[in-house]
């Protein structure tokens, strides 16, 4: 009998609370899909280095899954709490008819077990189907070639999903049993008639709290957007995070008291239509609303920042490949090592020759395998430090950015060498007079710092020759091939200025005498094989190739995107589901109130409009403040991700907005239609 009763309860719950079951199924499916990515790579034809990145991504996703399990577990327990509230009267009738609390607990145990089994089976089936399409997304992200398609089932992902969600459902069973053991008959029978006592908060206290909260939030915004650079270190960023979280709570707390008071004072608005009813409905659960709004707002804020940043990084890194890796290979080595006993005699001697000569000693034929060769040197000396080139603005900049390495030596390059490199890199060449210099940089923050000095026409002196800037701003460009904007500034000066000046690094940039990737890979293997040469102990050449940079960039971008999507979607679903379940529970509790409105002559159109506004307020409030948080949060993320570039940030924000509208807006519409069905007159 108890088993049949459990089945009937589940079927009745599905009718009114489909969102709960849908969220469980969706959670299981997403959990399986992201943990099954490792199995999807069997159909991909990728290099060994890309497989290493995929393996690293899978390990990171496994770690993230533990955190995701806690989030989903919290969601399931939190959602179950509202489902329990809907059934208070039902449990009261059971007790009135003589059923023991132990049997009620057993009914809940059976229901949770059945719901868990159904959601796991359906979720896993959905996850297995969708994971087959995920293989296409993985291949696209890694820009890999797909071999013959085959159906893949991940046993490890399935077992992990069963284990994690089994533990979650077990906790729900314990939670339900504990709640039933503490319930009282009178409370269960009258629970639907109760609402929190609406206490009119002192409006002056609310105003003071609101002003202080806005001030604290403004200070947190100021800290993370560059106003207080000392707070941008990892150990001190917790201060603005804590301030922002507390300020968010008290903003909701103060607004909850102010809005009702303000609306009641505007008689024409308060008594128009069902506004008074809607506002009272909003205030009837004010205490739990404030805390829920705070948690959901912060989760939405994290979602927006994670999704925007992750997508932006991937798009920026992919975009940078076309402009910042214009050649096939770049080799560099340290020049002019000192004879102080720190280095072997062979290393010291090798540091006096060029990269080309070193390659030839290693047995590599440069002219046979390379073309478009540009070879040059970079110069540096402790005679000219960064602080020296900043001139009169040094003190101001040092106060603004106290953690920068101002005692590092500046780097110089000959005008003729830079112009040869610019021709290969498709950059604008520079033309200097005998007493001029320019600064080439592509790191935005450093460009701003350099420009302050250049605007002051700051001179520099090299080998007794004084040079002044040709331009009042930096020339956008780079020396090293990378996928990030990391050039903080290289000085281009006339060739004769650097005569007898200490050399720091020798570089050789070239394209391959090859047309296909296979031929290029063979050339790179020949370069790797030079490490077996007896002369290899005398040198330490570093190589960066277009193929390796491409694979690493694509792999890193894909890894960040998958982790961002995983966390962002889970957080978004959790936020929307909590709001949806809370509103469905409220609609059930308020069913008699809507029935009373019908009895006094309110038509269905007005009732639906009031319900729409009530649900809209609950969904809109946390989202609006989360968007405001995100404006400054994304600005801080852009500061941290500056080396990747900001050009793709707008696109990623638009894509993130689309995801939020689809999922969050979808939950809102489903909640409204389900709530309308709950309050409908039977």
CA distance 125 to 628: 39
pLDDT for res 343: 82
- CA-nearest of 162, 309, 351 to 646 is 309
pLDDT per residue as tens digits for the range 576-623 = 888 888 787 777 777 777 777 787 777 778 888 888 888 888 888 889
Across residues 498-526, what is the average pLDDT?
89
CA distance 612 to 607: 9
Please give the DSSP secondary-structure letter assigned to residue 384: E
Higher pLDDT, 318 or 448: 448
What percent of the chain has pLDDT above 70?
79
Please give the DSSP secondary-structure letter assigned to residue 232: G
pLDDT for res 421: 93
**Which DSSP helix (H) or strand (E) runs through 146?**
strand 145-146
DSSP helix/strand/coil, 654: helix
pLDDT for res 287: 53
Structure tokens at 81: 């709490």
Residue 381 pLDDT > 60: yes
Residue 228 pLDDT > 50: no
pLDDT for res 230: 45
Judged by average pLDDT, the poorest of 17-26, 147-156, 292-301 is 147-156
Band of residue 186 on the pLDDT scale cut at 50, 70, 90: low
What percent of the chain has pLDDT above 90?
19
Structure tokens at 20: 């709960």
Band of residue 464 on the pLDDT scale cut at 50, 70, 90: confident
Band of residue 72 on the pLDDT scale cut at 50, 70, 90: confident
| Conformational region of residue 450, where left means phi above 0, alpha means psi within -120 to 50, and beta covers everything else | alpha
pLDDT per residue as tens digits for the range 541-552 = 888 888 888 877
pTM: 0.73
Residue 47 pLDDT > 80: no
Higher pLDDT, 511 or 129: 511
pLDDT per residue as tens digits for the range 398-408 = 887 787 888 99
pLDDT, mean over the chain: 80
Residue 504 pLDDT > 70: yes
């Amino acid at each position: 009998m108890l088993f049949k009763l459990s089945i009937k309860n589940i079927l009745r719950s599905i009718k009114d609370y489909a969102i709960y079951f849908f969220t469980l199924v969706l959670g299981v499916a997403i959990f399986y899909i992201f943990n099954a990515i490792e199995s999807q790579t069997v159909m991909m034809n990728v290099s060994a280095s890309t497989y290493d990145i995929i393996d690293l991504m899978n390990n990171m996703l496994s770690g993230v899954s533990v955190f995701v399990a806690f989030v989903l577990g919290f969601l399931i327990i939190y959602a179950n709490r509202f489902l329990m509230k809907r059934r208070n009267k039902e449990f009261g009738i059971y007790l009135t008819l003589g059923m023991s609390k132990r049997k009620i607990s057993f009914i809940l145990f059976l229901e949770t077990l059945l719901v868990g089994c159904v959601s796991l089976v359906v979720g896993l089936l959905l996850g297995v189907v969708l994971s087959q399409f995920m293989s296409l997304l993985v291949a696209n992200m890694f820009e890999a070639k797909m071999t013959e398609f085959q159906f893949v089932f991940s046993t490890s992902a399935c077992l992990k999903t069963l284990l994690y969600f089994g533990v979650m459902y077990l906790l729900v069973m314990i939670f339900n049993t504990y709640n039933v053991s503490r319930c009282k008959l009178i409370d269960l029978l009258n629970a639907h008639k109760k609402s929190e006592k609406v206490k009119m908060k002192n409006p002056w206290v609310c105003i003071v709290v609101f002003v202080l909260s806005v001030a604290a939030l403004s200070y947190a915004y100021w800290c993370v957007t560059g106003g207080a650079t000392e707070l941008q270190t990892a150990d001190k960023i917790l201060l603005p995070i804590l301030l922002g979280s507390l300020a968010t709570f008290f903003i909701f707390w103060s607004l909850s008291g102010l809005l009702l008071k303000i609306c009641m004072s505007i008689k024409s608005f308060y008594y128009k239509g069902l506004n008074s009813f809607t506002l009272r409905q909003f205030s009837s659960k004010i205490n739990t609303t404030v805390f829920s709004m705070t948690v959901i707002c912060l989760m939405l804020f994290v979602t927006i920042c994670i999704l925007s940043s992750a997508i932006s990084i991937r798009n920026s890194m992919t975009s940078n490949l076309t402009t910042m890796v214009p050649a096939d290979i770049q080799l560099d080595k340290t020049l002019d090592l000192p004879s102080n006993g720190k280095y072997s005699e062979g290393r010291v001697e090798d540091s006096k020759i060029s990269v080309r000569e070193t390659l030839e000693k290693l047995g590599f034929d440069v002219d046979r395998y390379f073309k478009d060769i540009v070879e040059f040197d970079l110069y540096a000396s402790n005679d000219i430090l960064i602080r020296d080139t900043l001139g009169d603005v040094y003190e101001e900049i040092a106060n603004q950015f106290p953690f920068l390495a101002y005692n590092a030596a500046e780097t110089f390059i000959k005008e003729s060498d830079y112009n040869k490199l610019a021709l290969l890199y498709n950059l604008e060449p520079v033309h200097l007079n005998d007493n001029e210099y320019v600064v080439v940089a592509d790191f935005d923050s450093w460009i701003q710092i350099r420009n302050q000095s250049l605007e002051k026409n700051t001179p520099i002196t090299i080998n007794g020759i004084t040079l002044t800037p040709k331009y009042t701003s930096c020339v956008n460009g780079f020396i090293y091939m990378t996928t990030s904007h990391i050039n903080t500034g290289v000085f281009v000066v006339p060739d004769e200025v650097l005569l007898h000046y200490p050399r720091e690094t020798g570089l050789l940039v070239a394209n391959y005498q090859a047309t296909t990737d296979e031929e290029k890979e063979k050339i790179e293997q020949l370069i790797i094989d030079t490490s077996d040469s007896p002369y290899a102990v005398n040198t330490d050449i570093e190589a960066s190739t277009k193929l390796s940079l491409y694979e690493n960039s694509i792999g890193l971008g894909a890894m960040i995107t998958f982790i961002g999507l995983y966390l962002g979607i889970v957080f978004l679903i959790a936020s929307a589901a909590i709001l949806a379940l809370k509103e469905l529970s409220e609609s059930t509790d308020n069913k008699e109130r809507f029935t009373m409105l019908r009895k006094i002559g309110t038509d269905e159109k007005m009732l639906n409009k009031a319900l729409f506004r009530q649900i809209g307020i609950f969904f809109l409030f946390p989202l609006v403040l989360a968007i405001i948080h995100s404006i400054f949060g994304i600005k801080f993320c852009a500061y941290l991700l500056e080396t990747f570039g900001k050009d793709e940030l707008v696109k990623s924000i638009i894509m993130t907005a689309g995801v939020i509208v689809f999922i969050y807006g979808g939950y809102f519409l489903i909640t409204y239609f389900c709530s309308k069905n709950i309050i409908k007159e039977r």
